[in-house]
Structure 1
Amino acid sequence: MKVLDQIKNYADILRLTKLKNEPEVVLHQAQIDKPSYQEFALLLLQREVQHRRKTDLERRLKLARLPKDHNLDKYDFNMANGMSVPQLKQLRELLWLEQNYNLILMGPSGTGKTYVAAGLVNDAVKSGHKAYFITMEELVTVLKMKEMTSTALNTYNRLLKAHLVAIDDIMLFPIKKHEAVAFFNLINHLHEQTSVIITTNKSPQQWAEMLDDEVLATALLDRLLFKCEVVKLTGKSYRMENRKTIFEQ
């Protein structure tokens, strides 16, 4: 067996993916740079660590299930929705996450609630946290199916172990009593150990109507609002203001 093949084989056994896939590149660069033995060993380890961090971040971002638009670096402050530059900057520092605070983003459709929630999940993942984005509709399906499918159960277990869970469009549609109870049980489990971001176009007072259970709604709000910042977004829909058309202007 050639030396290069042996390197690939041993790298595979040791799970040194970068070295396994690119030994020629590493050796060619070493022939040019002529590093010392110590420098060459350090280079190999640095490449592997960087590769693993990159693939781990890509894996966690995929698991976060973010919507297409979620980069808060591109946030449009020209949109008059009540979100200020200092306010968003403070949210992006994630100190509230480290203190297990919740966020409720409340406002009409199109005012940036989902964009901000997804962007904060993106920031949290890149900061090393376990963070996930899920719509209320998707969550209800997970709660119903977790006893029946491994996919739903795995998703549910990830939520239980998360540092941050963003739930989009809560109370957009009425939910059945057993679904509401399952949702309460999840929130009760996450209470004070996981930060939760809620986006909703309904006021807390309207939650009881959507759940058709004032006691359950009160208990749910009691846990969410205990350590919580409520951010009210206002204004017209960003999507309608920037609506695309197929016709020439």
Structure 2
Amino acid sequence: MPVCLKTLEISKNLITLLLFMKTSGMTMNNVKNPIDLNSIQPLCKRLRLPTMFQSLATLCESPSMLEMTHLEVVHEILEAEICRRDENALKRRLKDAHIRHQDATMADIDFKIPRGLNKPQVMTLGNCDWIRNHQNCIITGKTGCGKTYVAGALANAACRQGFTVRFVRVPRFLKEFSAQHALDRGFERELRNLRRIDLLVLDDWGIGQMDAVNRSDLLEIIEDRCGVGSVLVTSVLPVKAWAEYIKDATYADSILDRLVRNAHRIEMIGESMRMQKRYGALNTKEVD
């Protein structure tokens, strides 16, 4: 929910709370009385404003509250409630995203090792304007060069900026998606769920075989997101080899036109990061 709508919702609840205080003869000057707090607590609970009550209780124990205006008190407890809701919303987005590298951050991307990463480009993508503009991103490179980690960092950045994300491996995803055809309205329901996601990450594109059902499903998914959502693809295959992976000229043209034409491209090079000790390799000379 956007912050402005959250503020409106909480403000309505706060007005209800203040009206209760007024009709019950309570004022901001006597709220510091624990008896009054005991009266406010069940109301805050009913209005689902637990953090607002906790913030108010903390303020009542502070001498600084006596120097605050009514509006300053309102601002303080509103801000505390919104911060708590934002934190919980972020936790839900991160949990629902199923990002493969959950600890991946933009700050931890290793630009020292030469592997074709343009730092200004990657960091700009971390600002998520491409998601706001419903554009796509394609990361290609050899196995182990760090494509999935970079995708995870971008996905985490998106979650922290309020976007919803779903991170999937293409082979498993297409298999599970195809199974939805056997369920009553399962396919349409899953398409609707994906349509609500701001960023869909398709990891390991190009691995495995794609059949006719997979091609049809993939086109529906990409078409549904065209102009209304973003897709991030990681692949060991260069883009020029994707048509062969799709194995149908008509479907390949339709899918790639929607996916590639407005995509930011990152083409990574170099050997596997897993060959280095700092990334888990055993008995391997560290590459500086």
Which TM-score tier does this pair reach, normalised by the shorter chain? 0.7 to 0.9
Which residue, out of 231, 236, 239, partners 1:204? 239
Which residue, out of 81, 87, 90, partners 2:121? 87
2:17 equivalent in structure 1 = none
Higher relative contact order (CA 8 A, sep 6+): 1
1:124 equivalent in structure 2 = 158
Q: Is the CA contact 2:65–2:73 (under 8 Å) kept in the aligned structure 1? A: no
* Partner Cα distance (2:95, 2:196) in 1: 17
Deviations 1:103-128 (A, max 9, x none): 11011011121111121122122222
Q: How does 1:166-181 map to 2 (within 5 A)?
A: 166-181=201-216
Gap runs ≥5 in structure 1: none
Deviations 1:220-239 (A, max 9, x none): 11211121222210001112
Deviations 1:3-35 (A, max 9, x none): 444322101111102135566434323x45423
1:244 equivalent in structure 2 = 280
* Partner Cα distance (2:249, 2:57) in 1: 67
Give SS of 2:112's match.
coil
The question of 1:11 aligning with 2:40 is answered: no
Give SS of 1:168's match.
strand
What is the RMSD computed on CA atoms of the aligned residues?
Answer: 2.8
TM norm structure 1: 0.85
* Partner Cα distance (2:229, 2:213) in 1: 23
Give SS of 1:83's match.
coil
- Cα 1:41–1:151 change in 2 (3 A) is farther
Q: How does 1:46-195 map to 2 (within 5 A)?
A: 46-67=79-100, 68-146=102-180, 148=183, 156-195=191-230
Q: State the number of aligned residues.
A: 246
| Aligned residue identity for 1:85 | K
State the Cα distance separating 1:170 from its structure 2 match. 0.8
| Aligned residue identity for 2:203 | D
Which structure is larger by alpha-carbon Rg, 1 or 2? Answer: 2
TM norm structure 2: 0.75
Gap runs ≥5 in structure 2: 1-34
Q: Is the CA contact 2:274–2:281 (under 8 Å) kept in the aligned structure 1? A: no
Deviations 1:140-168 (A, max 9, x none): 24423445399997764332122222111
Percent identity (aligned): 24
2:263 equivalent in structure 1 = 228
- Cα 1:43–1:150 change in 2 (3 A) is farther
* Partner Cα distance (1:116, 1:149) in 2: 37
* Partner Cα distance (1:151, 1:65) in 2: 21
